[in-house]
A and B are shown apart, each in its own frame.
Chain A
């Protein structure tokens, strides 16, 4: 190893910056949409501000702009450190970084122009689908190339999750988007009707599974042990839950189509596998909680750790709620209602956004070689994020459960109890509360953006070289945790004995 070799953190920093920009913009669009559901005139008669076009912009901006940029940033950051080697083909990493931003930006504009395949989370038309595939392959080359050139025998567990993200999303993306192009902005799916629905929800559910769950579990397995300064509680449990998760998740999609016009065996299988999925999901949560359990004291003073641990709690909540909603008799009530929207946001706000914020508060000061600009602001952000998420999901539980029950309600002479418009009109208080929750969450995100940009302002990333490889991690002894270099605290509660 030469002494001049350093980790490529510049591209990580840039991806973090883009991710923050998309977070603020994506959430701003979300808040606007929430307001349009109360005051429909807020589109001002402009077609590009219309709800039907703006909503896919919100979901795509958050998932692919904020989410994927953050996943790329944290994957590049952690794969170097768990492989003890700088990024493979760093120029390609920069191409991935900027190429992705161009796709998100132009793709977002195309959605406003009405270019859409209509499939949820896969709305972008075929030219963008091809561009995404190319960038994704480059991402895979950088990531797996780094692992292939590693100086440590074991491939650390966070990398399996990032690897699973890259491989499975590629498979889903290609199969689901197969279509015959008609013009630059229009194509027809090669699948029709019920078959199209089954393929789409195989994709849709597993985009949630392998991107929003699996990818972010990659973050968890690197940043939680690192920030808690504790090895993973049970490495073997992480192994078991990884494979159980990867095997089971892929079956769960048809719970989005309960009582729809698809074969019943497909629905039932989807439901059973969704219920089984609770086991690996909670195994991971328990593993995380036990990992941090020796460092509770640190939780009171460390904003990054607070965000990560709260995210873990929401992960537990969402992965419990999901299987429950996949039960057919529960789904009768929840399907087509705002309950689903609430469930998605307990995942997206509570789990995805919170853990991302935790990793950003972790990485940015370290990469800049300085302290966080303001711990106080980060703590305020924490409480705003928690309050915003709670307001959001509680209001959507109220809205969704009422919609579900009112729509199904039949009086004693067999007539429908409520008209659709009556139920819709009764949603205003819930939608108001949701708007407030979104605003509170967005405010916290803006505080973070300010805090982190101040921390980064005028500084370059510090030059970090891979540490000397010790014999214990080069791989003679089997100790996969060793690469993390964390020191388990002696004594109880993280207090040195």
Chain B
């Protein structure tokens, strides 16, 4: 045997346990060095003045957004590039997303970015747009969501269990807020909840960063 490495590898080729261990070892290094430190980096998970805790209605709206797959075509991530800031508003910051479970940054802009959509259009515009996009944007290719006006916000899972689950994960919901949640959703449509969520998107950014 000329090279030590060759001998070692011949052992590996004949020993399944070693091979499995080798694969596990070699493939976990990247995750341990690159992903694990990020999970423990507090600045990525600590709430600041830029962080917004979703109300019961907004949280329900966010779950409507996820259920309908809005994130498939819309990003929520404005990159620090001149053209993006000009088009969409101030670039996105990590502390704006600490209450986002899951994150909804997206990977494709078939439609425009939505991170700073909050407050840009009226509720009436959003309602018309969601029910029939082409009634307000001529050549839009967005699907219509007429059913959202008929579906009840309360039908989208138990809001109290949702808030309790998030509380376990560190979202500071008070017991009063959790108690009051079902009452706040009473009689609202999923369309209304979704619009409430869209209207709050990106508006939490403190004045000095705008």
Q: Report A's interface with B, CB cutoff 8 A.
A: 36-38, 40, 43, 45, 47, 50-53, 55-56, 114, 116-120, 144, 147-148, 153-155, 160, 163-164, 167-168, 171, 175, 180-183, 185-200, 202, 210, 239, 243, 246-251, 253-254, 256-257, 259-263, 266, 269-270, 273, 332, 335-338, 340-341, 403, 407-410, 414-416, 420-421, 424-425, 475, 478, 480
Query: A51 is contacted by which of B13, B66, B72, B77 (Cβ under 8 Å)?
Result: B72
With A52-B73, A188-B165, A416-B86 known, 4 other A-B pairs at CB within 8 A are: A171-B24, A190-B169, A246-B23, A266-B34
What are 24 A-B residue pairs whose CB atoms fall within 8 Å in the complex? A36-B141, A38-B141, A56-B72, A114-B67, A148-B16, A154-B13, A155-B16, A167-B24, A182-B165, A187-B165, A188-B102, A189-B102, A192-B99, A192-B101, A193-B98, A194-B44, A196-B100, A198-B39, A243-B22, A250-B29, A261-B93, A336-B107, A407-B83, A424-B111
Q: Is the CB of B79 within 8 A of A194?
A: no
Given contacts A52-B143, A261-B77, contact A251 B34 (CB under 8 A): yes
Contact with A along B110-137 (1 / 0, CB 8 A): 1111000000000000000000011001
CB distance from B196 to the nearest CB of A (A): 19
Minimum Cβ distance to chain A for residue B72 (Å): 5
Q: A192-B169, A261-B97 are known contacts. Are A332 and B81 too (CB-CB below 8 A)?
A: yes
Q: Which residues of B contact A (CB under 8 A)?
A: 9-10, 13-14, 16, 19-20, 22-24, 26-31, 33-35, 38-39, 41, 44-45, 63, 66-73, 75, 77, 79-84, 86-87, 92-94, 96-113, 133-134, 137-147, 157-158, 161-162, 165-166, 168-169
Is A196's CB under 8 angstroms from B169's CB? no
With a cutoff of 8 Å between Cβ atoms, the chain A residues found around residue B23 in the complex are 160, 163-164, 167-168, 246
A123 nearest in chain B by CB position: B69
Contact A45 B146 (CB under 8 A): yes
Given contacts A52-B69, A246-B27, contact A421 B140 (CB under 8 A): yes
- The smallest beta-carbon distance between B64 and chain A, in angstroms, is 9
Q: Report chain A residues within 8 Å CB of B112.
A: 420
On chain A, the residues within 8 Å of B142 by CB distance are 40
Least CB distance from B59 to A in Å reads 10
Tell me if B34 and A55 are in contact (CB < 8 A). Answer: no
Interfacial chain B residues near A55, Cβ < 8 Å: 69, 72
- Chain A, Cβ-Cβ closest to B38: A198
- Give the CA-CA distance A337 to B79 in the complex, in Å: 14
For A171, list chain B residues within 8 Å (CB): 24, 27-28, 31
Give Cα A148 to B134, complex, Å.
61
Are the CB atoms of B86 and A263 closer together than 8 Å?
no
Distance, CA A246 to CA B14, complexed state (A): 19
Q: Which residues of B contact A243 (CB under 8 A)?
A: 22, 26
Establish whether residues A118 and B169, one from each chain, have CB atoms under 8 Å apart when the complex forms: no
Could you say which residues of chain A place their CB within 8 Å of the CB of B87?
A: 407, 416, 420
Taking a contact as CB atoms under 8 Å apart, the answer to whether A260 and B69 are in contact is no
Question: A155–B13 contact, CB under 8 A?
Answer: yes
- B22 and chain A: residue at smallest CB distance: A243
Which residues of chain A come closer than 8 Å to B27, judged between CB atoms?
164, 167-168, 171, 210, 246-247, 249-250
Bound-complex Cα distance A256 to B79 (A): 13
Among A195, A259, A409, which residue has the most Cβ atoms of chain B within 10 A?
A195
The answer to whether A186 and B98 touch (CB under 8 A), given A250-B27, A260-B77, A407-B83, is no
Tell me whether A194 and B103 are in contact (CB under 8 A). yes
In the docked arrangement, what's the CA distance between A186 and B165, Å? 11
Given contacts A56-B72, A197-B103, contact A36 B137 (CB under 8 A): no
User: Is the pair A250, B144 in contact by a Cβ cutoff of 8 Å?
Assistant: no
Q: CB < 8 Å: which of B19, B133, B139 contacts A160?
A: B19
> Are B143 and A40 neighbours in the complex by a CB distance under 8 Å?
yes
Query: Residue on A with the closest CB to B104?
Result: A118
Indicate if the CB atoms of A45 and B144 lie closer than 8 Å. Answer: yes
Known: A192-B169, A246-B26, A266-B34. A43 touches B103 (CB 8 A): no
Chain A nearest CB: distance from B41 CB in Å?
A: 7
A43-B143, A116-B69, A475-B14 known; A182 and B162 CB under 8 Å?
yes
- A186-B162, A421-B140 known; A239-B69 Cβ under 8 A: no
**Are B20 and A263 in contact, CB atoms less than 8 angstroms apart?**
no
Residues A118 and B139 in contact in the complex (CB < 8 Å), given A195-B45, A273-B30, A340-B107: no
In the complex, which residues of chain B have a beta carbon less than 8 angstroms from the beta carbon of A114? 67-68
Q: What separation, in Å, do the CA atoms of A450 and B198 have in the docked complex?
A: 48
Closest residue of chain A to B35 (Cβ to Cβ) is A202
Choose one: B86, B106, B145; the contact of A410 (CB below 8 Å). B86
Indicate which residue in B24, B73, B94, B138 contacts A194 across the interface (CB closer than 8 Å).
B94
